[in-house]
Amino acid sequence: MKQEVPFSSKRFLLTLTLCACAVILLQNHDLSRALSFPLALGAVAAGLIVCFLLFLPAVWLKKRWDSDVLTLVQSRGRAAQGMVAVIYSAYFLYVAAYFLLPYTDMFCKKYYTETNPCPVAFLLLACCVYAASKGANVITRFGIFLFVLAMVTNFMMFGGSLSSLDMHNGSLGWQGNPADFGNHVIYFVTPCFIAALFACLSGDATRFRVHQIVTALGLTGVKYALVLFFLTFAAGEYAARQAYETFVLSRVAHFGDYAGVESLYMALATMSVFMIISLLLCGVTKAWHCGGNLWVLALLTGLVFALQLWAVSNDAIRELFTRPLLLIALTLITAAVIPLLVGWGERRRHA
């Protein structure tokens, strides 16, 4: 197994923040427009609070033993190691397909309409194999570049939408029904997949502090709130009538005669999904003690590509990979239940 190089926990949490941004970048009529803007912000806050709670078991492992669940389980028997590896492998492959499918669909429907989603997925996965072979340290370094790209994209997209603001487009009151609010909360819990990544890869992160997680989720919430604000009061009904509303927002942004920053938006979405899948691959190879092995990484990405092909040709399978509740349930197991069980086992072993 390739020895992972330690990396800064600040850089790691920054990378996870950028991964979480993919949720709002790929939003496609997942949120009801009947819910007023203040209640939508409340749903964002509620969802991210749940995400923070799912971080706590892994935080306990990190603070108590300066390790992660995959490292601690190596002291157990082969049966326990194998079971944990299978569970995390299945989960990470599911999450990879969960984000790859909407990304390729958006790319082909909104940006490059003459291509097929499968070649796009193949090329992206090939890049992910190379990145994962270099390890999480290199991927988190790339996160610094992506953070700069995100700042430029956000400035262009939000700044270019200021002239289109119309506060009559949406409601600032308290309008909406409990079902819509609940659906919003569920949607904004889906960034919890980064808690599972933290649970598996945080053992190599140095100088960790709990407030770094709070900062990461806070920045994520600001990003979500700004997108919701400009979708409601700038793009309005124009975005509501089209698929992938955040992409539409990037297209309508303009500075005088210069209009549309969809290329920057697509670059940011591509890099976010790229880092998600690359870190997921790092997690799987770490679970099987074969980090950096190109053959194993190629096999794993082959499985993700097979899921992509299957989902593209089968609507029932595609539906399976677009269910937020299923993602949250699986994350609860991998980010909370298993780390708690491993932590309790460590306490009993050292007692």
Instruction: Report the chain's mean pLDDT, rounded to a whole number.
Output: 91
pLDDT confidence band for 3 (50 / 70 / 90): low
- The residue to which tokens 């460590």 are assigned: 346
Q: Check residue 269 and give its pLDDT.
A: 95
Q: Check residue 251 and give its pLDDT.
A: 86
Residue/partner pairs of 150-156 with CB below 8 Å, 24 or more apart = 150/18, 150/21, 150/268, 152/264, 153/250, 153/261, 153/264, 153/265, 153/267, 153/268, 154/223, 154/226, 156/253, 156/255, 156/261, 156/264
pLDDT at position 256 over 70? no
- Name the token pair of 292: 């950096």
Q: Does domain 7-346 have CATH number 1.20.1740.10?
A: yes
Q: Check residue 257 and give its pLDDT.
A: 65
Greater pLDDT, 111 or 20: 20
**CA atoms of 150 and 272, how far apart (whole Å):** 10
Domain limits, the chain: 7-346
Q: CA-CA distances (angstroms) from residue 311 to 94, 304, 306?
A: 12, 10, 9
pLDDT at position 173 over 90? no
Q: Check residue 351 and give its pLDDT.
A: 66
Q: Check residue 266 and give its pLDDT.
A: 93
Please report, rounded to a whole number, the percentage of residues in the chain having pLDDT higher than 70.
96
* Mean pLDDT in residue range 240-251: 87
| Tens digits of residue pLDDT in 308-342 | 999 988 988 999 999 999 999 999 999 999 999 99
**CA atoms of 127 and 73, how far apart (whole Å):** 30
Q: What dihedral do alpha carbons 15, 16, 19, 25 form, nearest 10°? A: -100
User: Whole-model pTM?
Assistant: 0.95
* Mean pLDDT in residue range 283-295: 89
- The residue to which tokens 């499968």 are assigned: 118
Q: Check residue 259 and give its pLDDT.
A: 67
Q: Are strands 258-259 and 7-8 parallel, antiparallel or unpaired?
A: unpaired
